[in-house]
Structure formats: structure tokens, C-alpha cells
Structure 1
Amino acid sequence: MMKQVVDIVGFELGVRVCGVLSAAIRWWINELVQSIPSSIRLKLSARHDKRYVRVHGEQVEITDSNFRTGSWKLLPCPEDVRQSTPDPVALLLPAAMVLRRVIELPIAAKATLHETASFQIGRVTPFKPGEVHYVARTLAQDRLKKTIRAEIAVTPREALKRALESISSYGLQPTAIFVEGDTSQPAFDYLPQIGANVTPQTQSLTRWAIVVGACLLISAPFLAAFRLHLLAEKARNQVALAAKIAAKASDSQTKLDTLISSESFLPDRLRGPHSLEVLDGLSRQIPDTSWVFRLEIRADNAIMSGLSSDLPALLQQLARPPFSTPELTSPVVQGIAGGPARFELRVRYGSGQ
């Protein structure tokens, strides 16, 4: 009895586990299909490029050829055409159902354009982000201003929900949701953003989706690493170029400073007294009772230090041309026992004006 109970419980547990695994596998396949760009999904689907559907009120129209030729066919009642297996098609939203706006964003927002666009909806449209489904794409990029021009396309959630319910009642499954009349690339596709379930048409499509998704997952780290390598190389080249420019600028500044100094040195020296003239004048004017042991000649004056037994006579002599305006720069230190006094004075060379 106990063994039968265990077998029954084990059987029920196995059924539940198989159901969970089957649901997980279906979910994972759907996620892989949604991660594939719409252009690749168009190529993988055998009939998708020839089947488009649009909704006008309660009517659903479908075409088996290029939808731009206008050969649309009105579908009869859902009960007459509903199929057991969903038929993949591309849903075309009427242009009047979609509000499009062009915005300008910093270039850093390009990597997270969809998330950044959600903050602009309330500013550039009369809707709140929770009231609409939206998609965004980059139109142009200005590297000088470091900005991008992007386009946002919003459509009311309720209107899109009704359109999806209408085509679902006919047994049709959207593999893309485009905007009618949109010829730009990349085309607006709402399906990856709303997360609608996509049922593969055939086992071949499922295998292709798995293969492509696995390739994308495997190659993503290598592509990211290669992109980082390119960015690093670009940054290294820019740094090297900036270093060359800085070196040239520094060399030019040094040459300019040298030229300015050489141009101004000679006129400055010509405007001031010559050292030989100053020495000759001092040797004639300083009396024998004084002598100088330090002399500093500047542009328009001379500073000297020395000893003198008759300091008034020295000052009187230095007040005569070619010198003028002698003045003491520090207190006089009197000598010991009537010896010579130590002095420091400044005297101008010239008229003193």
C-alpha cells in the first residue's frame, strides 16, 4: 500500500516537473526570439515577408503580397477563419494611431536611448509614460556638439491592446508591429518593447532562433571587448596627438619668450648706465677717507656698502654730477675708539629727476 502511494506521488511530481520544464523551455525560446532584431526575424520566417495585417475599427485586413501595393483583403468572421496553430504576421499600425516627435539628447544617451526616451514622453507628448507604448531610434549624431537627434513614436496602450486582441481572435500571431508609412531604417517595431509572446511557425524557425540567440550570446563578450579595444586605441591616438600639440606649443612658447627677452634686453641695457661709467664716476667722487667693499649697480642707481672716516664729506661728494640724491639705506654703525663708521647708501646715476 505504501509503495503504491509513493509511486502515485512520484508520478504526479514527475508530471509537474515536466510541465514546469516545458513552460520554462517555451519561455526561454520566446525570449530568444524576441531578442532577435526584426530584420533577422523577417528573413527567418518563410511567409512573414508576404503577410501583413492591419485593423480598422472592427475590421481586419490582410495581404499576401507587398503591403505597399494596396492589395488588401478583408477577413470574414473570426469563427470562420480561426486556426488551431497561430499564423505569424506583421501588424501595421495606422499612422494616425502613432504620435511621433523628434528630440535632441546628449550623445551619452545613445547607449540607453529607450530608457532615456521614457523621461521625454511627458515633456514632448500629451501622454504619461504609463499610458502609452513607445519606441525610439537615432536619426543623426553631432560629434562636435556631442548630441544626437532621436525620434520617439508613441501609441496608446489601450488602442494597441484592442488591435492585438482583434488579430488574435482570427488566430494570427504578430512577429512584428510596424507603423504604416514608416520607410526609415531601422523601422519602428513595438513588439520587443511590449513583450508579446511569439509562437514560432515551424520547428525549423525554432532551431534557427535558438542558434541565432546562442550566437548572439556567445559573440556579445567578444564584440564588447573588441569595441573597448577600438575605443582604447582611439583614446591612445588622441592622447598622443594632444601630447604632440602640447610639445609644439611649449616649444613655440619657449622660442617666443626667448625672442621677447632678446628684443628687450639690449634697449633696457642701453637706457641704463654702463658699469664702467659708474665705476669711473665713483672712483673720482669717493674721497680718500672712504672706501667701498660692496657695490651693486642697478638700472638707475647704485647701492654700496663701505667704511668712512668722514661720512658727511662722502655724501657731499656723491651729490655732485654725474650722481645725485645720495641716501642712507640703514643706520650708520660707528667705529670703535673713533675708527671709521660702516655705512650703506643708495645713490642715483643721473640728474635725479
Structure 2
Amino acid sequence: MSTVPATRVRLQDAGRGMRGFLAWWAQGLSAWLPAAWRGALAASSDRLLLQLADDDLLLLRHQGADGIRDIAALPVPPPRSNSADPFATLLSDAGRALPRWVLLPAEAGLRRTLVLPAAARERLHDVLGFEIERQTPFAAADVVYDGRLLRTREDGQLETELVVVPRNRFDAVMGRLPGVADGLAGVELAAADGRPLGVNLLAPASRHRTRRVGWAWSLAYAGLGVLALVLALAQVLDNRRAAAEALEREVAQRSAQARGVSQQRQRLVDAVEGGAYLQGLRNARPSVAEVMDELARRLPDGTYLEKLSIDGDQLTLVGLSNQAAALVGKLEGARQWRAPALSGALQQDPRTRSDRFTLDAKLNDAATPEERPRAAR
């Protein structure tokens, strides 16, 4: 017999707010995993169904993701006098670990479809409890009940189903199973086609909580995933930090190179500008050779120079001459200098009977008089 997993009314499925967000987030994360991983991480929905037959036979069935399959049909075991499992010889270790449910026949219960406001979603079980006496011929104290959410309508209202089983029928069935009633995880009601509805008629205080290995593996896998994520983020952070440090070192190295190149360029510019300035100064004055050549042509015979000094634009001549008084006139009009004049008094040299003189003049620009107006323009 094939079936689909039962639909239970669960707060985490019907809830809103943070619980709904966490469910949506977990579902989104699981969608990224391979199908084999999702199957390993998912909590198993397998369970062991116990169903009474008309001839006092107990049907033992396994319900899993692939449907319901029959395991065995055996007489109802008598009440246990010890803690031995009556199904130990029929089930494997994994089968004995499955949660056990009693499946009641469809005619044992009463089902009513109700439309409730959306505000009833959070406390659906309690709201359905108030509807028992209005929707069924039983009092609330005389039944066991549960409900399920069928769908949410377009107008936001909830289409639900109330499932009620009279307590005397419930107790009668449970009384015929004294050997297996202990340790039950729940009591189901079958639909018309024999499939479980997806409700639990057993009181919460009486439900046996089976330790599921799948949850332990899920927690282990989740912890491993969180650890892997933390390590991956730490590695990414280390890589970014190393890349930032490498970039910082490269920037510092390039900055130092740029500063060195800038300093060398500045020194080169200063040298070129200094050389151009000095060359301009030299070009602005006549050369020493030109000055000496002009002096050789203008100084008369009997005149000897002991010293010739050029300091900036200052020309100074020191020497002996037998025509010292006429030197100023002979040096005037030269292109290389201007305003020649004797500095100090003439002193006669007793040895040569010539006059010692000191003569100063101002050097002119190197341009000719004809070129000066043109340069000024």
C-alpha cells in the first residue's frame, strides 16, 4: 500500500514570526545541499504502525517515505509480566528503535471540516476543542480529539479538520493492547482508504519520546557545517588581510621609488636651471679673452699690467705706465666696458720711473649696441 507522509498541525509549520522565518531559512539552506545530504540530514519520518484486525490479529506495518508495507500479522500478545519486547524477534535493531503508533479504523472516529479565522493558527488545537460540542454529538470530556490544517484559503481563513474518537471506543482498543500500549508515541485514525490522517489522539503526557539517531546526526552535521563555515570565513579573512598587507608593502615600495625619482628629477631640474642661469650670466658679460684682446689693442706702449681682476661686472686693472694719466681716454668707447676711471692717486715707481695706477670700469652686456635695442624689444 502506498501512502504519503501524514500532515500534522505543527506550530513550526503553521506559526508566524521568528519560527516561520527559521523554518523558511532552514528550508532554503537545505535546497542548496545534494539530495543524498538532504536525506541524511533530514529527521526520519519512519514509524511502526500497530493495527487491530477483526479476528484479534495485530497487524505490524512499517510506514516510511516510500509508503506502508506489512511486516507481520500475529495474535494480540498477552499483558507482559516483564519488560521484554514482544516484537524483539520480528524487528531489527533499527525497527525496534522506530516510534510506535496505534492505527484506529476509520469508522472509530468522526471528522468535521471547519473554517476558522487566521488568528486561530497559533492555538489551533485549543480552538478545535471548543468546537467539539457544537460540531459533534459528544461532550468534550467524552472524546479524545486532534485536528489538522488542510489549507489556507485565499481570504486568509484556515480550512481545518476536527478528528474526534469517543473515549469508550478509544479505551476499548487500548484495552485490547495491554502488551504493547506502553511506550506508544501516538494514536492515529485511518482515512477511508486506510491511510493515516496525520493526527495524534494520544494525550501529550502519555506520548513516548523516542530518541532519534537522525537528530543526533543532524546536530553533528550542523555543528560540522558551522565549523566549516567559520573556518572558511577565517581563511577568507586571512587571505584578505594578507592581500591587504602585500598591497600596503607594494604601495610603500612604489611610494619610496616615486619619491626617489622625484628627488632625482628635482636635482636634475635644479642642475639644468643652475647651469642655464650661470650660462646666462656668462653670456651677459664679455669673455675674459675678449676683454684682454681689447685691452691689448688699446693700452699704449710703456704700459704693463700687474693684475687684471673681473668680479661680476667690475673690471679692475693694476699696473705701471708712463702714460697713466692718458689711460682713461684710451680705454673709453670700448664695447666690452664702460665708465673707466682711475682709482686713487698715481704713485711713481722709482725703479722704472713709471706711474703705478689702479683703474676701474664696468663691464657691458655681451650684446653689441645695435643688438641691445633689439633684445630690449
TM interval, shorter chain, is 0.3 to 0.5
Return the TM-score normalized by structure 2: 0.36
Return the TM-score normalized by structure 1: 0.38
